[in-house]
Amino acid sequence: MNAPPRTLDDRAVRLFIALAAFFCVNAVLAEFIGVKIFALEDTLGIAPLEWNLFGQTGSLSFTVGTLLWPFVFVLTDTINEFFGRRGVRFISWIAVGLILYGFLFAFLAIHAAPASWWVGVAREQGVPDYQAAFAAIFGQGMWAIGGSVIAFLLGQLIDVWVFHRIRSVTGERYVWLRATGSTAVSQLIDSFVVIYVAFVLGPQHWPMSQFMAVSTVNYSYKMLAALGMIPLLYLMRHAIRGYLGHAREQQLRAEAAAD
């Protein structure tokens, strides 16, 4: 008598685990590195464009976390396509739990008494007080917890809803439309909420003009990146079809659409 197939031998299960793991690591990493604001032109080694937006001028400024969010968008839409609302909601809650878990231990790490020799160990590298630098970086991130979690959950739930509304109208056509349409709506909320909590309510107390300028630039970047990654979305879809096989792919897509 043949033994029943093991759960982890199911390619759909393996696929979901891989997508969920990559989704969560990108979401958590984006939260932790997002405290840094970088100038695009300076990073590329070109002269500042001297843009003027809401009274703010200079280089185009982004949170470093925005570099990772386009991958989160692609993963969200891919999971939406093959595992439906339940799949996206499930991994979104896991990601929130991991973000909170990470910030909890960052908080504990900040308040752990530093070794006296460690405080000045990087003085020659221009960091006179390692503990102060550590607390400033991860402490600033603490302000992002509430905004990040609320914005992330709202963004994901809105993304799922818009994605399936477009899918109900267009059917299986226009993958690019439901992917970019859901991202456009969800990230409008996410981009502004996170920066407002982290940098306006947080220790830096940004003026509203700076908040509006950076948020608008970040949102614009996310939308351009989402459009630029449409080929990757189709490539992943093609790769998944080859991995699962036609029959299994059609089964998953039918279940996702009816979810």
15 falls within a domain: yes
Predicted confidence at residue 216, as pLDDT, reads 85
The total number of structural domains in the chain stands at: 1
Under 8 Å between Cβ of 241 and 84: no
Under 8 Å between Cβ of 153 and 193: no
Q: What is the mean pLDDT of residues 18-30?
A: 91
**Alpha-carbon torsion 9, 13, 17, 23, what sign?**
positive
The Cα 65–Cα 220 span in angstroms is: 14
CATH number at residue 79: 1.10.1760
57 falls within a domain: yes
For residue 244, pLDDT beyond 60: yes
Which are the contacts of 123, defined by CB distance < 8 A and separation ≥ 6? none
Tokens of 175: 């993958």
Tokens of 200: 């306006």
48 falls within a domain: yes
The CA-based angle 225-228-234, given to 5 degrees, is 120
55 falls within a domain: yes
Summarised one tens digit per residue, pLDDT across range 74-113 is 888 889 889 988 898 899 899 989 988 988 888 899 999 9
**Pairing between β-strand 51-53 and β-strand 56-58 as defined by DSSP bridges:** antiparallel
The whole-angstrom distance between residue 56's C-alpha and the CA centroid of its chain comes to 26
Q: What is the mean pLDDT of residues 9-14?
A: 87
Predicted confidence at residue 154, as pLDDT, reads 81
The Cα 202–Cα 211 span in angstroms is: 12
Q: For 103, how many CA atoms within 13 A lie in the half-sphere containing its CB?
A: 23
189 falls within a domain: yes
122 falls within a domain: no
For residue 68, pLDDT beyond 80: yes
Predicted confidence at residue 90, as pLDDT, reads 92
Structural domain harbouring 176: 7-114+135-258
Q: Which of these, 120, 128, 141, lies nearest to 37 by C-alpha position?
A: 141
Higher-scoring residue by pLDDT: 23, 209: 23
Summarised one tens digit per residue, pLDDT across range 151-171 is 778 888 888 888 878 888 877
119 falls within a domain: no
Higher-scoring residue by pLDDT: 55, 18: 18
Read off the pLDDT band of 16 (50, 70, 90).
Answer: very high
83 falls within a domain: yes
Predicted confidence at residue 142, as pLDDT, reads 63
Read off the pLDDT band of 173 (50, 70, 90).
Answer: confident
For residue 64, pLDDT beyond 80: yes
State the residue for tokens 């607390």.
135
Predicted confidence at residue 19, as pLDDT, reads 94
